Structure 1
């Protein structure tokens, strides 16, 4: 084993290599990885600081941009509002527009009065609909029917208020309606308004063109022919029963016969139906209010000679001292010899 030689005081060498001071551990070199980690740590802190600074700057820039945008939007809104105030849009709802909208509720109706104008029935009708308030109603193809208290149809026609609206005030309106022959089946002087009911129906079937109005009374169109015939037939039966006592009162006097018709007969260029027969009664009754309807078979005058007596007969109801006086009356009122004749029930 080599012998140790002295060099510096307190130092030793082994194999020519200094071993450091006697009694101390040899220095341990720092591993390369630890040194790199220390450098990386410092570098990481620097990067984090830079990123944080960038984030702060970015947030500051974003705040400035948002503020600019908000200011721009507020300016646009203010400009739009100013433009709206100074130049009203044509589409803007005008005050009261909703209040003026048409009413869509079908009103109820009641008959307050009825008169005759020639052969036309004029009905004064009160309409009510709380929902209509002060609005107008433009019902189209509205069938308005007048019924008796025992449910007989006295009048019915279809009216169009589209271009002639019904104007309500506090939910109430009054209109005059004209019913031409073929649209009513009871003489006006035989209708008691307080004993009637009325029915109002929208979207009804029409038949032909509307009759002309009379004065301020609105004209309407006929209902279907099948209904017209049915109501006319029923009206003839009612009229015969209603007038029976008046006809009997004429048996002791001379009177004049104005018409004698039967269903299906051909005369005056047409085939007579129930509607034609009753319409003729209404026209004659309008001119001579005493006119009455009779069923010929009910009276000996028409049956005693064995002739056919299934006729609807219209009598003037006027009385005369003699047949000659009756014939003179027919002539004075411009009836033809075949249309008017004097009769004596005795």
Structure 2
């Protein structure tokens, strides 16, 4: 079967064309007086709107014979089915207000006549490509349409496809999660970048500034040596640069000659301001970075006066403030560091001549520097000790850390201080480790002492005893030894 309006194939039994929505004419059936639907033969109620097909004019019936033949189904009592309750959006229930203004249209099925069934007018074909349009029809007591009125396909829009449950909420949650993730990623990148800048740039800058007051801290001085601009007469608080010129000793103390270069601006008169800061730590390091001297000086008692931009000063370090024999310090490779705002311990001693004496540094730092100095000294003196395998020398001391002797507990600072004192008295004095030489391990394989040798050669034990007496040592303080 084909649709009388658009010509599309229609499955038998369908009431409306699936292509254009036009009613499908049913052969030999009455037309509903309410909605105009063609019904099948023998049906008493409209299958579209439920109206009774017997209501209103009926098509003419064929004549009946006088004999008792079978009675037409139309003459039997009619049972009215319950009328379907109106439902919004359901064709034929009269609940959709969108179609109230299209009730009367040019697409109307003529009313039936009582004499005979009238054929349903052929509907106009839908233009090619016209999508399927649902037809809403209204009937019954809820605003029923006029008999035979139907809606043209162009007045009806197909209902929007409903979204899946939770689809909008899911998309919203995904979008929110994406935005939160982007914000977190940006914050993490910013934190990492900030930490990297601090670690590689600002941290090193702060550390260097804490160790020494460099020339770049003064706005009036440049690295190229340009002259400094004149400033108000303010105290010079920036530590000068320093170089180690020479070293000597005064008794057992170390005397270091320093050449200072001012890092302060010139005064209004063109003179360089004096440096007179108190609590200035002065440290000397060797070319391996080992601290070999360190003390805290008060320059307010003896201000540094510059001749132009430079000045020479003498600083004196006691035997508890330096850790290298004065004649083993390489001045050309040594580094001098001045740090302001540092606190010393105890009182500064008196110094000879024009030298400035300082107070001790923190005891823990001094102990650490002394222990490193003892290790350095053992390696340095190995070659000198090797000649005493075949001859004699004299032993002046044997101590170890934590040992109680001479009324005190010995620490690394005490052991190295004693070595420096002996080194001043005996210029050939050396330091050895007892566990490295047979003369000590034969009696005790676990021996572990720092041993001070005079380093002077003697031919026999008798000659060694004479050496001890001539230098003022008793039997408990001086012994003749060889290292074999």
TM-score (normalised: structure 1): 0.70
Equivalent residue, structure 2, for 1:218: 356
Q: Flag the structure with higher strand content.
A: 1
Task: Specify which of 244, 250, 254 is matched with residue 121 of structure 1.
Answer: 254
Distance 1:321 1:289 in 2: 19
Distance 1:306 1:278 in 2: 24
Per-residue deviation, 1:100: 5.6
1:1-346 correspondence runs (5 A): 101-133=234-266, 134-306=272-444, 308-346=446-484
Residues 111 and 125 of structure 1 are in contact (CA less than 8 Å); yes or no, is this contact kept in structure 2? Answer: yes
Per-residue deviation, 1:102: 3.0
Residues 241 and 263 of structure 2 are in contact (CA less than 8 Å); yes or no, is this contact kept in structure 1? Answer: no
Distance 2:399 2:265 in 1: 48
Greater relative CO, 1 or 2 (CA 8 Å, sep 6+): 1
Q: Flag the structure with higher helix content.
A: 1
Q: Which sections of structure 2, spanning at least 5 residues, go unmatched? A: 1-230, 267-271
- Paired residues in the alignment total 250
The 3-state SS of whatever aligns with 2:398 is strand
Distance 1:340 1:228 in 2: 29
Per-residue deviation, 1:126: 0.7
Distance 1:319 1:130 in 2: 52
Q: Which sections of structure 1, spanning at least 5 residues, go unmatched? A: 1-97
Residues 142 and 158 of structure 1 are in contact (CA less than 8 Å); yes or no, is this contact kept in structure 2? Answer: yes
Distance 2:257 2:265 in 1: 20
Equivalent residue, structure 1, for 2:162: none
Per-residue deviation, 1:344: 2.2
Query: Alignment RMSD, CA only?
Result: 1.6
Structure 1: which 4+ aligned runs deviate by more than 6 Å? none
Describe the superposition over 1:194-213 as per-residue Cα deviations: whole angstroms up to 9, x where unpaired: 01001100011211110211
Residues 255 and 344 of structure 1 are in contact (CA less than 8 Å); yes or no, is this contact kept in structure 2? Answer: yes
Residues 285 and 334 of structure 2 are in contact (CA less than 8 Å); yes or no, is this contact kept in structure 1? Answer: yes
Describe the superposition over 1:168-203 as per-residue Cα deviations: whole angstroms up to 9, x where unpaired: 121111100000011000000000100100110001
